Amino acid sequence: EDQVTQSPEALRLQEGESSSLNCSYTVSGLRGLFWYRQDPGKGPEFLFTLYSAGEEKEKERLKATLTKKESFLHITAPKPEDSATYLCAVRRGSQGNLIFGKGTKLSVKP
Amino acid sequence: DAMVIQNPRYQVTQFGKPVTLSCSQTLNHNVMYWYQQKSSQAPKLLFHYYDKDFNNEADTPDNFQSRRPNTSFCFLDIRSPGLGDAAMYLCATRTSGRSTGELFFGEGSRLTVL
């Protein structure tokens, strides 16, 4: 069964304290791994798509990497405005539907 | 400018009273999705449209139905809401053409069932 597991469930950091979020997946025929940011009471906002092992994408303080079994979202020197829930999703099948993980809730304190 | 617009943002209904949530998009995307998201849970796919073709997830309750009268609009109907249907309902779109394949989400409609 296709599955996406994110860890930790919650992460509290001090401003400037770098860390990583993990997304492990089991899916037959991966057709893309997606990272989204979700602010409270809002819809998810797209961050990155990764397609193949070894691929990396960067945006400001965020960097996403992909292996054959997992993806990491690295946050360098986070700021309070980076506080949000980060969702990982994998795309499967010809219909291209996304399967989401439960997310990691990140809190960055000043 | 908002590209995927959901209405209402907040909906309060009584147990068993039908509810309709709407989604409109200005992206001209041919694929539209409805997700249900409960607190601290992963968004769960209810159904999606590939053009006019409707696809129902196997575990979507019969209580949930959808309509897509044209490319721009999609509706989610909950015929007899129960307490367990209280959630955020997310509409999303994507193009099946050349793209990175990401979904564009609306702000969501939060449903409360009393």
Per the prediction, chain A carries an average pLDDT of 93
Binning pLDDT at 50, 70 and 90, where does residue B102 land?
confident
Q: B17-47 burial by CB neighbour count: b if 16+ within 10 A, else e? A: eebebbbbbeeebbbbbbbbbeeeebbbbbb
Q: CB distance B45–A97 less than 8 Å?
A: yes
Q: CB distance B107–A42 less than 8 Å?
A: yes
pLDDT value at residue A2: 82
Q: Which residues contact A101 (CB under 8 A, 6 or more apart)?
A: A4, A5, A6, A23, A87, A88, A89, B42
Residues of A in contact with B42 (CB under 8 A): 4, 87, 99-103
Binning pLDDT at 50, 70 and 90, where does residue A91 land?
confident
Res. A39: pLDDT tops 80: yes
Residues of A in contact with B96 (CB under 8 A): 96
CB B64 within 8 A of CB B84: no
C-alpha span between B34 and B32 (Å, rounded): 7
Per the prediction, chain B carries an average pLDDT of 93
pLDDT value at residue B74: 96
pLDDT value at residue A28: 81
Binning pLDDT at 50, 70 and 90, where does residue B101 land?
confident
Residues of B in contact with A101 (CB under 8 A): 42
**Interface subset of A 6-35, CB within 8 angstroms of B:** 9, 31-32, 34
Q: CB distance A43–B4 less than 8 Å?
A: yes
Q: Which amino acid is located at A21 in the chain?
A: L
Res. A95: pLDDT tops 70: no
pLDDT in tens, B43-68: 999 999 999 999 999 899 999 999 99
Is A49 part of the contact surface with chain B (CB cutoff 8 Å)? yes
In terms of CA atoms, which chain B residue is nearest residue A91? B101
CB A97 within 8 A of CB B57: no
Q: CB distance A103–B90 less than 8 Å?
A: no
pLDDT value at residue A94: 57
pLDDT in tens, A75-85: 999 999 999 99
Element spanning A4, H or E: strand A3-7
Q: What value does the mean pLDDT take over residues B67-80?
A: 96
Q: What value does the mean pLDDT take over residues B97-113?
A: 86
Q: A78-88 burial by CB neighbour count: b if 16+ within 10 A, else e? A: beeebbbbbbb
C-alpha span between A31 and A89 (Å, rounded): 11
pLDDT value at residue A23: 98
Give how far A76 is from chain B: nearest CA, Å: 24
Comparing CA positions, the residue from B41, B101, B54 lying closest to residue A34 is B101
pLDDT in tens, B9-37: 999 999 999 999 999 999 999 999 999 99
What would the two tokens of residue B75 be?
């509706």
* Percent of chain B clearing pLDDT 70 (strictly above): 95
* Percent of chain A clearing pLDDT 90 (strictly above): 79
Binning pLDDT at 50, 70 and 90, where does residue B95 land?
confident
**Residue A54 exposure: Cα atoms within 13 Å on the Cβ side:** 0
Is B96 part of the contact surface with chain A (CB cutoff 8 Å)? yes
